[in-house]
Chain A
Amino acid sequence: MIAIIDYGVGNLFSLKSSLAAIGADAFVSGDAAEIEKADKIILPGVGAFGDAAKKLRDCGMADVLLKEAAKGKPIMGICLGMQLLFDKSFEYGEHEGLGLIKGEIRPISEMIPEGLKIPHIGWNALQFTDKPSKLFRYIKDGDFVYFVHSYAGANCEESIIAKSEYGAPLCAAVENGNVCGCQFHPEKSGDVGLSILRGFCDMEVEVC
């Protein structure tokens, strides 16, 4: 059973539908006790980091995530949800994240040459790194996924499983033990996206 954390950020309809399409049992909840019962957790999110990080803490979900991650439960962040897994973000000030992925979130305007449009929006290819990945076990290097973002992970080399080229290589996905995250939207990335979600569903609890 997969819990999708509801903390008032973003639209969960497509994520719920795409999990249903691959036959995964999932529910949306903002209740700590229910989420602790699930064997996997997805942290979605769209919007600004500071606001979302505050909401996550205020509703107690930040503590739940840290506790469940320590137990080795598979956790996946999507888009802003992935960014929240990092140590901190520099989106409008400096905000603390969950610290489950080493690194920080910075504006992509600092990373790419001038003249390219921001946000980085549309379909882009995944370039796998050498780091082996459980999340991507059912997809291949070069597969296309759908991005919409203006900020990206930085100084997170040890966790990056794929990059995407947009004037410079941007962090597309991370994985550290059973904690993983996609900057792009697997629920909007067609069959490739569904295969990634399947990869997540097949992750097992891992005691570190």
Chain B
Amino acid sequence: MITKRIIPCLDVKDGRVVKGVNFEGLSDVSSPVALGQYYSRMGADELVFYDITASSEGRALFTDILCEVARTIFIPLTVGGGINTVDDFDRVLKCGADKVSVNSGAIRNPDLVYEAAKKYGDQCVVLSVDIKRVDGTFRVFAKGGRENTGMEAIEWIKKCVSNGAGEVVVNSIDTDGVKNGFDLPMLEEVCNAVSVPVIASGGAGCIDDFTHLFKALPKVDAGLAASIFHFGEVEIMDLKKTLAEENIPVRL
């Protein structure tokens, strides 16, 4: 039985994790390597490193640190942020990333998903979409959720999946940061529209939110979160133990 995946997401700026806090036994809270190892030890099923650097110097630092992470952590690594071309895929895959997540880059260049999937395989291309309700419809937002593209979200996702996106991360702008649970209606629509794995993001505030997610929507494959893990509000190991007690398959 395939297990539900729990995925912490780390925002990295100039090669350092932003918003890191102190965990016991963790010496450098802003080191992607130290934090990645910590999460891996705690039972994270996968890690997402999101490069929020704007400058090319910062990008180079990110690439260096990614190599370092991949040298020491042996679970799947997904990289996102600043992925606009097939060359960007190449840059991070050579450093040991397993999957590459595209968001605004795919909106700007609609051929990117197809080109990358053809070159590296569908399993390598993760579509990440920021979605917000506008007048009762789901719309795709770009540039970190600041700009309404006007595109209908479900159609956009279906198009990218048919172009080769092997997984979809659904970030609900409506629930993000609210910590009141995942956006189940939005996720359900996406799950019904595509047959590739769907990763829920945005809204997790406590362990129960994950239990509720996987119980209400068995088609959702993974839950992704950032701040609740970084701030120690939810320990990944506790979360997975609770899910197991609720008969949700997890890797312990």
Residue of B nearest to A115 (CB): B195
Q: Is the CB of A119 within 8 A of B166?
A: yes
Q: Closest CB-CB distance, A47 to chain B, in whole Å? A: 6
Which residue in A17, A46, A193, A194 is a CB contact (below 8 Å) of B96? A17
Contacts of B121 in A (CB 8 A): 46-47
Contacts of B94 in A (CB 8 A): 11, 13
Contacts of A18 in B (CB 8 A): 74
Kindly specify which of A53-61, A92-100, A121-129, A199-207 makes contact with the partner chain.
Answer: A121-129
Q: Is the CB of A117 within 8 A of B3?
A: no
Measured between alpha carbons, how far is A13 from B71 in the docked complex, in Å? 8
How many A residues are at the interface, by size bracket?
Answer: 20 to 34
Measured between alpha carbons, how far is A202 from B92 in the docked complex, in Å? 32
Q: At the interface, yes or no: A113 with Cβ under 8 Å from chain B?
A: no
Beyond A13-B95, A17-B70, A146-B76, whether A190 also contacts B197 by CB under 8 A is no
Max chain A Cβ within 10 angstroms of own Cβ: one of B2, B40, B96, B98: B2
Residue of B nearest to A121 (CB): B197
Beyond A14-B98, A144-B251, whether A194 also contacts B74 by CB under 8 A is yes
Minimum-distance CB pairs A-B, first 8: A144-B251, A13-B96, A123-B251, A17-B71, A122-B2, A123-B3, A148-B123, A124-B2
Q: Is the CB of A120 within 8 A of B3?
A: no
Q: Closest CB-CB distance, B71 to chain A, in whole Å? A: 5
* Contact bitstring B89-103, A, C-beta under 8 A = 1, else 0: 000011110100000
Residues on A close to B: CB < 8 A? 11, 13-14, 17-18, 20-21, 46-47, 117-125, 144, 146-148, 165-166, 187-191, 193-194
How many B residues are at the interface, by size bracket?
Answer: 20 to 34
Q: Is the CB of A21 within 8 A of B74?
A: yes
Residue of B nearest to A146 (CB): B76
Contacts of A17 in B (CB 8 A): 70-72, 74, 96
17 CB < 8 A contacts A-B: A11-B94, A11-B96, A13-B94, A14-B96, A18-B74, A47-B121, A120-B2, A121-B167, A123-B251, A124-B2, A144-B3, A147-B2, A166-B1, A188-B76, A188-B98, A193-B74, A194-B74
Q: At the interface, yes or no: B59 with Cβ under 8 Å from chain A?
A: no
Q: Closest CB-CB distance, A127 to chain B, in whole Å? A: 10
Q: At the interface, yes or no: B11 with Cβ under 8 Å from chain A?
A: no
Q: A121-B123, A122-B3, A190-B75 are in contact. List 19 more A-B contacts (CB 8 A).
A: A11-B98, A13-B70, A13-B94, A14-B96, A17-B71, A17-B96, A46-B121, A117-B221, A120-B2, A121-B2, A121-B197, A122-B2, A122-B45, A123-B2, A124-B2, A125-B1, A144-B251, A166-B1, A193-B74
Q: At the interface, yes or no: B21 with Cβ under 8 Å from chain A?
A: no
Q: Closest CB-CB distance, B249 to chain A, in whole Å? A: 9
Residue of A nearest to B195 (CB): A117
Measured between alpha carbons, how far is A68 from B232 in the docked complex, in Å? 52
Residue of A nearest to B2 (CB): A122
Q: At the interface, yes or no: B206 with Cβ under 8 Å from chain A?
A: no
Measured between alpha carbons, how far is A18 from B96 in the docked complex, in Å? 11
Contacts of B197 in A (CB 8 A): 117, 121-122
Measured between alpha carbons, how far is A21 from B1 in the docked complex, in Å? 29
* Contact bitstring B61-88, A, C-beta under 8 A = 1, else 0: 0000001001110111000000000000
Beyond A122-B221, A123-B2, A190-B40, whether A146 also contacts B96 by CB under 8 A is no
Measured between alpha carbons, how far is A120 from B221 in the docked complex, in Å? 11
Q: At the interface, yes or no: B196 with Cβ under 8 Å from chain A?
A: yes
Contacts of B98 in A (CB 8 A): 11, 14, 188
Contacts of A124 in B (CB 8 A): 1-3
Q: Closest CB-CB distance, A115 to chain B, in whole Å? A: 9
Beyond A121-B197, A123-B5, whether A190 also contacts B123 by CB under 8 A is no
